[in-house]
Structure 1
Amino acid sequence: MKTVGIVVEYNPFHNGHLYHAQKAREAAGADVVMAVMSGHFLQRGEPALVNKWARTRMALQNGVDIVVELPYAFSVQKAEYFAKGAITILEKLFCDAFCFGSENGQVSSFIETKQQMDKHSKSLDPLVQKYMGEGFSFPKAQTLARESLFGQRLPLDLSKPNNILGFHYIQANENLPHPMTPLTVKRQQADYHDVTLSSQPIASATGIRKAIMETGLETIEPYVPAAAFAELNHYLSAYGHLHHWDLYWPLLQYRLLSSSTEELAQIYDVSEGIEYRLKEAARQSASFTEFMESVKTKRYTWTRIQRALVHILLHVSKEEMGAALEAVRYIRLLGMNSRGREYLNKVKKNLSLPFITKAAVFKEALALDLKAAEIYALGLPSHSSHSLLSSEFNEHPVILP
């Protein structure tokens, strides 16, 4: 059975994701579409709107055959580590190809850009450090360094978020012992950062989330598959809330105010003295948004700060994360349909990593993921959080026909 892998968050699953899954299957000529999906906290340092089990059901009802989890250590990360974890898992599951969405739409541009940047890496790295020394954020320093060295000569626009991720997917794949075939699908209609909903059926996840928070779920019905819309409504009915940072503000504020600056400095992604700024802002801010506006600077992007805050919320130390990032150590199944089950039955005896279907049996290996699930549940009122807390241990992989 031929398999194509995709890397996803589905926050939430929308029509653009359906298009991607369909085009990935078509481009690879694949029998099986396998998704590596972030768990409860996402790459940009945000809680997912709904938990990973609900998002797994959305995926399996809309063109995906297998869903496995991208571990927390790799999911709440800058693009380099995010891509490394996801691409490694796909390769360990014997995927023939992987397919990502991009603003560019041409794999050759990614490969050519990587070759040029590798060739000039000795000149590029000092330039990045130079611009960071001038107070720019790491992503901005990278952009300025590339512009300084290459001008407009690179085939790929690396200011675009999906192009950036795609570049790192290509890079991670080329470092594998058995590289997969890379494929890309051009993003349709909505730009990644679009915050408005148009008359077109495909909108960005950013715009969809904004609409949900401002006007409610009914607004987004034209932009998501029917099964995904039903899943969102069911989750809201069951738990009373969709997850967002404001729900976690009291927990975060407590963590910031009860920790010393020395303790905060030991948390992963907290560096260069930002712990002092975080504590001061926590004392003076009445909401998460107010806090973020106080902390953000030219050097620290909104995303970079949010990722650090997730690690603070979960109390993940530099030492703990360093050990977790050394290698992907397991594969956790979140769900499958009959086609996916057929494929996994054929390959699982040859897997080089533990294949986890029951969390309770692998508590030590899953420590960070389990902690993420528990803190994620605590964002809800107590009567809802209790049932969500227990679901991580009681929930079995989602199995659909």
Structure 2
Amino acid sequence: MIICSYYIIIQKYNDFKEFREMLIAGIVAEYNPFHKGHGALLQYCRECGASHVVAVMSGNFVQRGEPALLSKHARAEMAVRNGVDLVIELPVYWALSGAENFALGAVSLLAAAGCQRLCFGSECGDAGLLQEAAAALLQQDFITETRERLKTGLSFAAARNQVWAERFGGPLAGLLQAPNNILGVEYCKALIRLGTAMQPCSMRRAGPGHHDRAPLAGIASGTLLRRMITANENWENYLSAESGMIVHREISLLHAPAATGRIENAILAALRKMSPAGFSRLPDISEGLENRLYQAAQAAVSLNGFYRLVKSKRYALSRIRRLAMCAFLGIEAQAPFTLPPYLRVLAMNPQGAALLRAVKLRGELPILTRAAQASQLSPAARALWLQEQQSCNLYNLCLPQPLPCGTDLTQKLFYLPKIQP
């Protein structure tokens, strides 16, 4: 017994020593799917000196308010085969949140995984500038003034941009006009709010914008790739061989591409059954939006019709899609946690396994590598886990050949025994 305890102590010491020698970079991603732009960011992490790269990845539903093109397990495998060391799931509550809450949930998981760097792409490529903007946005007088502008009927983004334009010139002036700059600022705000020592590192984005519908410099945007894969067009040249292999495999198994259209009537049914009070309990509801949602749900005969009836200058389409999906999945604002309460591992390689051993020693959050471990969570954390399972069961209806309930419980994490170059 004494000898056994001695070896355990030695192993823990070695794991801790190894952890101290690691330089861990974190990435927030959806990998929907993992394309060449994602590969460039991964290379940037290595160029910044990262010995280990952790990705926090949205699960089966993404921030656009849609099911991911491929399942979270397929996309996690895709990430590790392309060089990510460890993939952690961002639970659905945060994956279907607006940019601020999305970033806060994801960055908190990277912090719990011991990341020292937060790497992301932005149009400006200047982490210092984004940090300066984040600090300004968190000032109480800026927040108060933005809220006052909201009362005039502006959207949140328009109100914030109006106040911003009046206060800042020079390099900061147009910063919040670009989508990846905005997300980068939210990452920096999350770092400040969490009080973590993690440092932001931003790569200037190259190639097409996120929503561009034409490839540029051999890179296709995520939006274009999803359209091409769904339409069975010539998408192979825009993915790595590893990513392409997984897409072909999932399509041949009738596990992809997932599509909202397959559950449209189910979503409409869920919306029609809701009362204004039910809509008011959804995340991100304000200024009487619940009444607008209720009236649209009673009148709409299609999802696009519902979106059109709700959309206005004040309410962005992406926000409406997220609300509709949250209504379908049964996700309400009264979540038991403001931050994710556990680390759910989806995929890793030997580097990731070594990192995971060190993360366990830190003990910041429970770590789930098997579904059975969820039984050891606190009651509130287990409720969140069960919400995740329910969303996975409903995701299975979005597939070309629907799957039964419970597949997320039987799917093992993906382990790649050889580290990809």
Normalised TM-score (structure 1): 0.90
The corresponding residue for 1:112 is 132
Check conservation: 2:93, 2:331, Cα contact below 8 A. Answer: no
The corresponding residue for 1:203 is 220
The corresponding residue for 2:61 is 41
The corresponding residue for 1:261 is 276
Alignment counterpart, residue 183 of structure 1, candidates 201, 204, 212: 201
Alignment counterpart, residue 55 of structure 1, candidates 75, 96, 116: 75
> Is 1:367 equivalent to 2:386 in the alignment?
yes
Amino acid at match of 1:294: L
The corresponding residue for 1:165 is 183
Amino acid at match of 2:130: F
Alignment CA distance shift 1:258-1:351 (3 Å): same
Which range moved further: 247-256 or 123-132?
123-132
Q: Could you say what the CA RMSD is over the residues aligned between the two structures, in angstroms?
A: 2.1
> Is 1:344 equivalent to 2:356 in the alignment?
yes
Amino acid at match of 1:295: V
Alignment CA distance shift 1:284-1:161 (3 Å): same
The corresponding residue for 1:395 is 411
Alignment counterpart, residue 320 of structure 2, candidates 293, 297, 305: 305
2: CA distance between counterparts of 1:394 and 1:348? 23
Alignment CA distance shift 1:174-1:197 (3 Å): same
Instruction: Report the alpha carbon displacement of residue 164 of structure 1 after superposing the two structures with TM.
Output: 1.1
Structure-to-structure mapping, 1:169-248, within 5 angstroms: 169-198=187-216, 200-213=217-230, 215-216=231-232, 218-239=233-254, 241-248=256-263
Structure 1 residues 164-219: Cα deviation after superposition (integer angstroms, max 9, x where no partner): 11112112223334411221111111112212234x22121122223334x32x42
2: CA distance between counterparts of 1:311 and 1:130? 28
Partner SS, residue 299 of structure 1:
coil
Check conservation: 2:30, 2:58, Cα contact below 8 A. Answer: yes
The corresponding residue for 1:149 is 167
1: CA distance between counterparts of 2:295 and 2:173? 44
Check conservation: 2:125, 2:205, Cα contact below 8 A. Answer: yes
Alignment CA distance shift 1:181-1:276 (3 Å): closer
1: CA distance between counterparts of 2:126 and 2:173? 10
Which range moved further: 371-380 or 151-160?
151-160
Check conservation: 2:137, 2:143, Cα contact below 8 A. Answer: no
Amino acid at match of 2:386: A
> Is 1:324 equivalent to 2:345 in the alignment?
no
Check conservation: 2:61, 2:68, Cα contact below 8 A. Answer: yes
Alignment CA distance shift 1:22-1:266 (3 Å): same
Structure 1 residues 46-76: Cα deviation after superposition (integer angstroms, max 9, x where no partner): 2111110000011011110110011222221
Amino acid at match of 1:139: A
Alignment counterpart, residue 102 of structure 1, candidates 119, 122, 126: 122
Structure 1 residues 300-339: Cα deviation after superposition (integer angstroms, max 9, x where no partner): 10011111112101112222x2x232x3311110110112
2: CA distance between counterparts of 1:380 and 1:324? 30
Amino acid at match of 2:101: Y
Instruction: Report the alpha carbon displacement of residue 280 of structure 1 after superposing the two structures with TM.
Output: 3.8
Alignment counterpart, residue 45 of structure 2, candidates 5, 24, 31: 24
Partner SS, residue 203 of structure 2:
strand
Which range moved further: 99-108 or 343-352?
343-352
> Is 1:377 equivalent to 2:392 in the alignment?
no
Fraction of identical pairs, as percent: 34
Alignment counterpart, residue 6 of structure 1, candidates 27, 39, 42: 27
Instruction: Report the alpha carbon displacement of residue 41 of structure 1 after superposing the two structures with TM.
Output: 1.2
2: CA distance between counterparts of 1:273 and 1:116? 29
Alignment CA distance shift 1:344-1:247 (3 Å): same
Normalised TM-score (structure 2): 0.86
Instruction: Report the alpha carbon displacement of residue 155 of structure 1 after superposing the two structures with TM.
Output: 6.2
- Listed as ranges, the gaps of 5+ residues in structure 1 are none
Structure 1 residues 6-40: Cα deviation after superposition (integer angstroms, max 9, x where no partner): 1110011111001111111211x111111010111
Partner SS, residue 219 of structure 1:
coil
Instruction: Report the alpha carbon displacement of residue 116 of structure 1 after superposing the two structures with TM.
Output: 4.1
Alignment counterpart, residue 68 of structure 1, candidates 77, 88, 95: 88
Check conservation: 2:156, 2:314, Cα contact below 8 A. Answer: yes
Paired residues, number: 389
Structure 1 residues 81-124: Cα deviation after superposition (integer angstroms, max 9, x where no partner): 11111111111111121211111111121123234445xx3442
Structure-to-structure mapping, 1:117-132, within 5 angstroms: 117-118=137-138, 121-132=139-150
Structure 1 residues 275-312: Cα deviation after superposition (integer angstroms, max 9, x where no partner): 34334434444432233223211111001111111210
Check conservation: 1:18, 1:62, Cα contact below 8 A. Answer: yes
Alignment CA distance shift 1:183-1:156 (3 Å): farther
Amino acid at match of 2:252: S
1: CA distance between counterparts of 2:359 and 2:298? 53
Alignment CA distance shift 1:152-1:123 (3 Å): farther
Alignment counterpart, residue 335 of structure 1, candidates 336, 342, 347: 347
Partner SS, residue 194 of structure 2:
coil
2: CA distance between counterparts of 1:153 and 1:163? 12
1: CA distance between counterparts of 2:104 and 2:86? 19
2: CA distance between counterparts of 1:30 and 1:241? 33
2: CA distance between counterparts of 1:258 and 1:64? 43
Check conservation: 2:164, 2:173, Cα contact below 8 A. Answer: no
